[in-house]
Amino acid sequence: MRYPEAVWQAEIELNGDVPWSDEEPLTGVQWNELLPLTGTDVDIIHATHQFAFAPPLRNDTVAVFDEQPDFTRNLKDSPDELSRERIRMAVNAYLDDADAPLKSYNDFVTFSKRGLLEEELDAALSHQPSREWHLSIDDAHRLAPAIARAIHHAEPRSNGRRVGTATYTPQAPLGSSNSGLNADQEVTVVFDDEDTLQTVRVVPDMSQAHVVLGLDAFPTEPLWELNTGVSFDLNSLLKPLERILWRRREKQLRVVQVGSNANHCTHGIGNTEKERALVEEIRDRHGSDFSTAITSKAAEDTLKQMMEDAGVDNPTILTFGEQNSRNVLGDEDVGLVVGCIDMGDGPVLDRLAELGLDAQPIRTSTDCFVCDGNGCRQCNHTGKKRAKGRGFVGPDARVAERICDSVRRDEVKQAISRYGRNPTDSTDSATVYVHTNVIRPSLLLDDDGEGVDIHADTKSNVIAFARDRDETTTKEVWDNTSASRKYTTEVLNELVEKGFATLRKKEPYGTHVYTVSSDTPSDHFVDLG
């Protein structure tokens, strides 16, 4: 079925009934299309991660996940997501239907946390709403009973979090022959230290699959476990050296790290002067072969403008996150990956709590700049500023760092892998410049450059003066600029080292005479490796 038709049919179905598969409407419709196939002799069905919710595809099958699934529900307030407000309304509606002693979400959360009305609430929460409730009540939601139970059973965990889980068993559709299948889903809620719901995760119960296989070049096992309920044994298909060879020989992908900073760009590009110099240098070196880049959503517009200013017609920019679903860079010969994104400490602590683990971000002795030491959400109520880097302390600090890295490194890694040979053309190859240091050097790196060095005024003056002479000497330069003799010598020798100048000694005194190339940039150096 084509996408627009599927959407159209989903809309019709949703007007009259609960969606068949208990999943998102579109998946439900697509699943209906697949149903006849599951009764026949089909060896392999390729489907998106959402289809792990369809019982016949995961019970008594070999389930293979390509890449780690993420079944975290987006709590943002958009109409098609399960927002906090949507959850509040759904739980209210359910409490009402269950005739619970409390009718408001906020009271319910508070009473549950304090263990008040324990027995009465427990009794009410065993209520299973009827099919009519789902159809006739606007605020009804299929997950409401399980979410309410998970909230009620939430227990204290590390860093002031509370975590609760409950099982949700979807009702098979009327007249379905599949009612005997295990359709269970595990619903988990995580509250932060201010009682705000931060995570809702709904994971299909994979326990009746023959085998669950996960394919992942750099797996973060704790996150795999959270999203499948399975604890995996690790097995490598390729040894590290073989992987490097595959990338170089088969994919013909050359990866060059530029500079040695992480360059976080979750909120945009930090040093625009450097980034602009880098973009211009790549454009100079590769001309029209350079027209694509990958960066964060927040940095997208700035980077696009820089590329246009450097002369790139119609640059294509993908953003971390969307890159995986878009296969448009396979034919590109040159790529640029700018910076990395970071999930922030809060979500790392939420996931640690979910795993029952404990660690804290490393802090300095300086007061938090948001709360002046009084304690706030930003500093996890410690009153102290976060230390540089993304380090953690505590018994499970390494796991915390791996979770943190899973976003930083994985997005960059995925971005790099978007480039590389078009499989149908054996002569095709690509070079990707990566302007961040969060890649795994041993596995991914072929070359590195020092990056971008923006010069202070004195240095610019020395270079500009020397460049504009046919020949010059150290003495002539320091006589005409504000630089010291020692500094002038250093700068001129650096120009020679970088190939921008030549040096000869003029007899009888051995005077150093420099010839600086006319295209030497005076305000910055870029070393692309």
Q: Which amino acid is at 133?
A: W
Those residues with Cβ within 8 angstroms of residue 24's Cβ, 6 or more apart along the chain or in another chain:
50
Q: From CA 360, how far away is CA 349, in angstroms rounded?
A: 8
Q: Which is nearer to Zn ion, 269 or 349 (CB)?
A: 349
Residues that bind Zn ion (CB under 5 A): 368, 370-371, 376, 378-379
Q: Which amino acid is at 123?
A: A
Q: Between 379 and 483, whose beta carbon lies closer to Zn ion?
A: 379
User: 360 in the Ramachandran plot: left (φ > 0), alpha (ψ -120 to 50) or beta?
Assistant: beta
CB of 267 to Zn ion, least distance (A): 18
Residue 433, Cβ neighbours under 10 Å: how many?
Answer: 28
Task: Give 368 or 432: the residue with its C-beta nearer to Zn ion.
Answer: 368
Report d(CA 321, CA 307) in Å as an integer. Answer: 21
Which residue number, 306 or 379, has a Cβ lying nearer to Zn ion?
Answer: 379
Q: Nearest distance from residue 366's CB to Zn ion, in Å?
A: 11
Contact 320, 360 (CB under 8 A): no
**Which CB atom, from 216 or from 367, has the smaller least distance to Zn ion?**
367
Q: Which residue is closest to Zn ion by CB? A: 368
- Residue 401 CB, shortest distance to Zn ion, in Å, is 22
Choice between 386 and 409, CB closer to Zn ion: 386
Residue 522 tokens read as: 């005076």
Strand arrangement of the beta sheet that strand 162-168 belongs to:
72-73, 197-204, 185-191, 162-168, 155-156
Q: How far is the CB of 371 from Zn ion (least distance, A)?
A: 3
Q: For residue 435, give the nearest of 308, 219, 218, 269 by alpha carbon.
A: 269
Task: Write out the two tokens for 59.
Answer: 């019970």
Cα dihedral 456, 461, 462, 468, rounded to 10, equals: 140
How is the chain split among helix, strand and coil, in percent rounded to 5? 40, 20, 45
* Least Å from the CB of residue 368 to Zn ion: 3
Query: Which tokens sit at 214?
Result: 């996960």
Smallest gap from Cβ 290 to Zn ion, in A, equals 43
Q: Are 480 and 489 in contact (CB under 8 A)?
A: no
Min dist. Cβ of residue 347 to Zn ion (A)? 18
Whole-number minimum distance, CB 378 to Zn ion, in Å?
A: 5
Enumerate the β-bridge partners of residue 253. Answer: 430
- Minimum CB distance to Zn ion smaller for 309 or for 372: 372
Q: How far is the CB of 345 from Zn ion (least distance, A)?
A: 12
Q: Is the dihedral of CA 42, 44, 50, 53 positive or negative?
A: positive
In angstroms, what is the minimal distance from the CB of 386 to Zn ion? 10
Determine the length of the chain. 529
Which is nearer to Zn ion, 384 or 421 (by Cβ)? 384
- Tell me the chain's radius of gyration from C-alpha atoms: 29
Query: Shortest distance, CB of residue 293 to Zn ion, whole angstroms?
Result: 35
Cα separation of 374 and 510, whole Å? Answer: 66
Report in angstroms the alpha-carbon separations of 298 from 282, 319, 338, 339, 363.
22, 9, 12, 11, 27
Residue 317 or 379 having the CB closest to Zn ion: 379
Is the CB of residue 285 less than 8 Å from the CB of residue 296? no
Alpha carbons 433 and 449: distance in angstroms, whole number = 9
In this complex, which beta carbon is closest to Zn ion, that of residue 160 or of residue 521?
160
Kindly tell me which of 248 and 381 has the beta carbon lying closer to Zn ion. Answer: 381
